[in-house]
Amino acid sequence: MTQTLLVNKSDFSDVSVITQDADPLADGFIRCQVGPWALTANNVTYMVTGDRIGYWNYFRPDAYGIDIESHGRMPVWGFAEVIESECEGVSAGQKIYGFFPIVDKFDIQPVSVSPMGFQDGNDHRTKLHSIYNRYIFTDADPSFAKHEDLQPILRPLFTTSFLIDDFLAEKDYFGAEQVLILSASSKTALGTAFCAKQRGVIKVAGLTSEGNKDFTEGTSFYDNVGTYDIITDLNPDIKTVVVDMSGNGKVLSTVSDHFKENLKYVCKVGLSHWEAAAKSAPKPSAPTEFFFAPDQAKTRIAEWGGAGFAEKLGERWMPFLESASDWLTVEKSTDMAMMLKTYQDVLSGDASPKKGFLFSL
């Protein structure tokens, strides 16, 4: 038997766990025992943008006899162990890291197998962005041995953080004097602030809720942290570029009205306030674009090469990973009820930024 989490695409709070008999493993495929995997606000963004960007298409539910128009399977990042293999070059017992649905067992068709890993060659995935189809053998990358529990929680988010910082620096911050990050306590926001602070060429400010302010300040990644109710107290004369992790149109509109012509650019990244994002609000007066990390990664890999990209990323990633053990507590569970409760907490924005959550079904 296999079981997977199914999400109602018109009401993300409506989820169910469905089971079915496992088919015999097909030739050329591997079967993996999935977990642990991380549950973060980033997974909510995958759902909110699922149709626009295509995240719903990576793990279609039609194999379970479910209508793909009404329901989907939320993607997560995590580990898995190969428990059965009908694919040359991949053996039972190998551990991999990559993109998965919330499921206990998962079949992959490895192609382009190398000592480092492979791509999933399933027909419906080959047309999608390759960065989400890549699986890494963990024993081939020494960095996975460090703070293993933090890896699935922070690694994919920090890669996005690194690429946001790289993009803004490449554009000379659009002439801004400060980066203002909305939803500053989110893990992708913290990574972005860390990278910008490491450069030391621009002021890094953040806005968060009152309840998360002390935690966010305690990371020391920001020059200053404020709450959403003090936006109009900020100095409007500072040329500012906004990195919007929240997607809250009302907050962004207030920021835009406050900074006026000194708001130089809005980099829209996340939708941690996804319900507010669905409500209409005036568009910012500054140029505004949604940041798609895989495109920036593709550009840099073409320029730096794969090894060069990994080296530059690692220079920022490893110090950030080391710091996280001081400000992030990891909770691990195999309890279905706990997983479903945490899912609802993450969906509603009630999950503590001080915690990271790992699960296995």
- CATH number for 126: 3.90.180.10
Q: What is the per-residue DSSP string for 281-323?
A: -PPPSS-EEE--HHHHHHHHHHHHHHHHHHHHHHHHHHHHHHH
CA–CA distance, 109 with 77 (Å, rounded to integer): 18
Q: Is 302 domain-assigned? A: no
Pair (161, 141) in one structural domain: no
Domain limits at 181?
157-294
Q: Is 289 domain-assigned? A: yes
Pair (173, 287) in one structural domain: yes
Q: Is 226 domain-assigned? A: yes
Q: Is 224 domain-assigned? A: yes
Q: What is the per-residue DSSP string for 149-177?
A: GGHHHHHHHHHHHHHHHHHHHHTGGGG-S
Peptide bond into 36 cis (omega under 30): yes
Q: What is the per-residue pLDDT for 122?
A: 87
How many angstroms separate the Cα of 311 from the Cα of each of 51, 143, 224, 319, 342? 33, 12, 30, 13, 35
- CATH number for 288: 3.40.50.720
Pair (25, 128) in one structural domain: yes
Residues of the chain with pLDDT under 70: 271-282
Q: What is the pTM of this model?
A: 0.91
Pair (57, 25) in one structural domain: yes
Pair (124, 244) in one structural domain: no
Sort residue 103 into left (φ over 0), alpha (ψ -120 to 50) or beta.
Answer: beta
Whether 34 contacts 75, CB under 8 Å: no
How many structural domains are present in the chain?
Answer: 2
Pair (136, 29) in one structural domain: yes
